[in-house]
Amino acid sequence: MKVNKDFLMKYKSVLGLIVFSVIMAFVNDRFLTLSNVLNIFRQTSINAIIAAGMTFVILTGGIDLSVGSIVAITGAVVAALIAGGMNVVLAVLIGLITGLLAGAVNGIIINKGKVQPFIATLAIMTLLRGATLVFTKGKPISIGYEKNAEIFNKIGAGYFLGIPIPIYILVAVFIAAYYILKHTRLGRYTYAIGGNEEASKLSGINTQRIKTYIYAISGVLAALAGIIITARLSSAQPTAGSGYELDAIAAVVLGGTSLAGGVGSVIGTVVGALIIGVLSNALNLMNVTSYYQLMAKGIVILIAVLLDRKDR
Amino acid sequence: MKKILEMKNISKEFPGVKALSGVNLTIYHGEVMALLGENGAGKSTLMKILTGVYQKTAGEIYLNGKLVKFNSINDSQKAKIGIIHQELNLIPNLTIAENIFLGREPINTFKKIDWNKLYSEADQLLDLLNMKISSKELVINLSIGQRQMVEIAKTLSLDAQIIIMDEPTDALTDKETESLFKVIRSLRSQGKSIVYISHRLEEIFQICDRATILRDGQFIEEKEVKDLDQNEIIEKMVGRKISEQFPTVKVKKGNVALEVNGLTNKFVKNVSFKLQQGEILGIAGLMGSGRTELAKTICGAIKKESGEILIEGERVNISSTQEAIKKGINYVSEDRKKDGLVLGLSVKENMSLSSLKEFTNQFSKIDSIEEEKVVDYYIKSINIKTPSKNQLIKNLSGGNQQKVCISKSLMCKPKILILDEPTRGIDVGAKKEIYDLINNLKKEGLSIIMISSEITEILGMSDRILVMHEGRISGELPENEATQETIMSYAVGIKEEK
Ligand SMILES: Nc1ncnc2c1ncn2[C@@H]1O[C@H](COP(=O)(O)OP(=O)(O)OP(=O)(O)O)[C@@H](O)[C@H]1O
Ligand SMILES: [Mg+2]
């Protein structure tokens, strides 16, 4: 009996996801169709990619509020480059570097300026949102209709073997994130810093450098998400990505990663992102308006966090 | 003698570990009961069961003859049982007084905290413990020893009838220990009962009336201290005879490995010394004399203002622990919970934390097979008691945690090893193992600095002894001139070399 209970608690988010999906499959016959399932994954991919980066940050005991703004600025930059006729690979690369730099700046402010992650990334979030509005003059930037725009559009809207491209990107990101956390020094140090930063430092870990890497990873992944969105919509919206930081944090927390740092996994984060994705998809299928959807999301997060609390 | 509390046939199982099986403990009115056993014998676990922190798997607890059950530390506090945990639990950014009365602050009729009363009562408690410090001081500014005294004051303020002290002198200076003993004696004469856990056996004879001995989670015996001698205790704890504690190991000393010239900052003043290969340099001194700060300055954790450090004759610039480790200097901290361990990680992950580079291939993948091989080697060779290398470090007993800390440094293959209180909280058997280990390292040509407050240990192990007083080196003693008295007189600053 006891073993059973431990098992239930450990895998409660996965179990919750499965139970909810099974119920939905019975309630609505459109839910368990191939196209809908692919749809769920595609819609989830944006949040999940950002959340993968957020997992690293939260594992070190930090937080990154700037991801939503990084989505927007990257989207705007890349859209402008594509519209200007630039080669897709080059434009995407520049977009990713934009995110990397923004993330690294977060890391440097936190480390060298000794500023709390919450405050540092809040400032960068505001600054980058402003920068995006200035850059776009508050209007959407279309990627245009040239050949390169057509290719670029595939990143967000294309299919390969019947499966949307963003899903491949998501899978690649998660394999990489899992591998880094589980099998590399960077991953081990991420957990160590979140668990006890002082001891990590005295153990000879360059904690500042590692943290800068971590925020840079978060920035790159947010940029990647920004590129996918822009590609899919064929244009960059100045308000793109607002509120995404909270969805990403929600996915990480639903996945069982502790905000205090040191404990958690990226697999949990996928599950967390899928819970959010499945929930909004289900509510959409049942024609629930987005206002109620928000309320439902809030309630699910609350339940998950309360369950987690009993865990300890 | 009147029994006030009896624990009968207590068993406790953790997943994969049988920590206690059928243990008895009786607490007598107005007596000090020693609870003895090796690291991991189950002493702390037994006390956590008594105070309701853990729930027992089997057995009964009788308080004044009545069967009781404590579901939480609250329950045991209500029954007037107080505990000073081995791991300190103070809030660093509050004052001493706020910590002592946390959750029980005196308030006036308008629910406002009565600060005057809070601080005056706290000051009285500190006075009782002979602590010359204001209770308005923030805990963050205190040494570990002082924090320990604050914990003791906190328990005293609870007016407990039974007071459990889990290795209270672990981090205390001799003077502080003496004040603590005074307090214990006066508590005893007031009819209070004390359970006293310590690995310093000489203390048992000074302060305890009876002793209960555990081994591997089993009850061995309860006896009056006057009918016991040290060897008998050790034998019962360890289950075998232990050979001489400090065998003399003669090693031909090599070149100068480390030279420190005029090292100065806020904590240390103009410190100079040399350390040879194959030498153990002991650093003695009182708590707060700057020994730890000296070590941390050498290994780059604290900035130096002036002075120079030479490794094998070459001037080096060390500005972080990372560089120190790269240059072959490794430091094992005195405060394992704060500076040594990542409690949420496993034994393996903690041990390899400093040397992880050695186990990564060109694709920065950790070679876990190689990593586990080395971790297993250390677990075996210095006898770390853990059900598995993947056990969380926080579930290990204090002494075994300490061994993991030392292994972590050894895994970096250092040239110079600085050990700060290396045997704090370690039992006699394991101490001997650690001493043998240190001697073996010396034989391999390692240079070792050993900071310790245990004078017997300093005397027994060191080839040469430096004594520190207020951030300076007040004396240097070759092995044959060092005695307890000379060390003490340099340590308190009565004597100073010029
Ligand atoms: N929460 C826990 N989960 C799993 N095992 C535990 C836990 N707490 C203690 N143990 C195990 O129980 C045994 C007894 O540990 P305990 O801390 O009581 O030893 P101790 O006698 O106090 O040792 P020390 O002198 O080193 O403090 C050890 O083997 C330890 O690893
Ligand atoms: Mg203990």
- C-alpha closest to that of B180 among B161, B162, B167, B199: B167
Q: B93 C-alpha vs ligand 1 centroid, how far in Å?
A: 29
Model confidence at A1, pLDDT cuts 50, 70, 90, reads: very low
Q: Looking at the predicted complex, does its ipTM rise above 0.85?
A: no
The pLDDT tens digits for A60-95 are 999 999 999 999 999 999 999 999 999 999 999 999
* Residue B321 sits at the chain A interface (C-beta within 8 Å): yes
- Selected for mutation to probe chain A from B326, B329, B345 (highest A CB count within 10 Å) is B345
pLDDT at position B485: 84
The pLDDT tens digits for A254-276 are 998 988 899 999 999 999 999 99
Q: How many Å apart are CA B259 and CA B447, to the nearest integer?
A: 11
Write the DSSP symbol of residue B334. S
Q: Which two tokens stand for residue A296?
A: 């439902």
**Mean of pLDDT values over B39-64:** 93
Q: Ligand 1 pocket: which of B397, B405, B428 to mutate (most atoms <8 Å of CB)?
A: B397
The pLDDT tens digits for B281-297 are 999 988 788 999 999 99
* Lowest mean pLDDT, pick from A96-100, A180-184, A229-233, B364-368: B364-368
Q: B187 C-alpha vs ligand 2 centroid, how far in Å?
A: 23
The pLDDT tens digits for B138-188 are 998 887 778 888 888 888 888 889 999 998 887 777 777 888 898 899 889
* Residue B102 sits at the chain A interface (C-beta within 8 Å): no
Residues B308/B262, Cβ–Cβ less than 8 Å: yes
pLDDT at position A309: 63
Provide the mean pLDDT of chain B.
89
Model confidence at A2, pLDDT cuts 50, 70, 90, reads: very low
What residues in A contact B364, CB-CB < 8 Å? 184-186
Contacts of residues B52-58 at CB distance under 8 Å and 24 or more positions apart, as own/partner, are B52/B76, B54/B12, B56/B10, B56/B11, B56/B12, B56/B20, B57/B11, B57/B12, B57/B13, B58/B9, B58/B10, B58/B11
The pLDDT tens digits for B301-335 are 999 999 999 999 899 999 999 999 999 999 999 88
The pLDDT tens digits for B9-43 are 999 998 878 899 999 999 999 999 999 998 889 99
pLDDT at position A12: 78
- C-alpha closest to that of B170 among B485, B456, B454, B457: B454
Provide the mean pLDDT of chain A.
91
Residues 6+ apart with CB under 8 A from B444: none
| Mode of pairing for the β-strands spanning B58-63 and B3-14 | antiparallel
- Is the pLDDT at A6 greater than 70, yes or no? no
Distance of CA B199 to the CA centre of its chain: 10
- Is the pLDDT at B50 greater than 90, yes or no? yes
The sign one gets for the Cα dihedral B456, B461, B463, B469 is negative
The pLDDT tens digits for B155-164 are 888 888 999 9
Which position has the higher pLDDT, B408 or B424?
B408
For ligand 1, atom 2: residue with the closest CA: B395
- Rounded to a whole number of angstroms, the distance from the CA of A89 to the nearest CA of chain B is 25
Segment of A211-220, B1-10, B381-390 carrying the highest mean pLDDT? A211-220
Token pair 């980066």: residue: A53
pLDDT at position B498: 55
- Is the pLDDT at B465 greater than 90, yes or no? yes
pLDDT at position A3: 53
Phi first, then psi: give them for residue B362, nearest 5 degrees.
-65, -15
Q: Which two tokens stand for residue A42?
A: 């595609």
* Lowest mean pLDDT, pick from A153-157, B334-338, B447-451: B334-338
Model confidence at B409, pLDDT cuts 50, 70, 90, reads: very high
For ligand 1, atom 5: residue with the closest CA: B395
Model confidence at A311, pLDDT cuts 50, 70, 90, reads: very low
**Mean of pLDDT values over B337-355:** 93
Closest CB from B326, B354, B365 relative to A203: B354
Q: Ligand 1 pocket: which of B57, B385, B395 to mutate (most atoms <8 Å of CB)?
A: B395
Q: How many Å apart are CA B367 and CA B118, to the nearest integer?
A: 56
Q: B259 C-alpha vs ligand 1 centroid, how far in Å?
A: 41
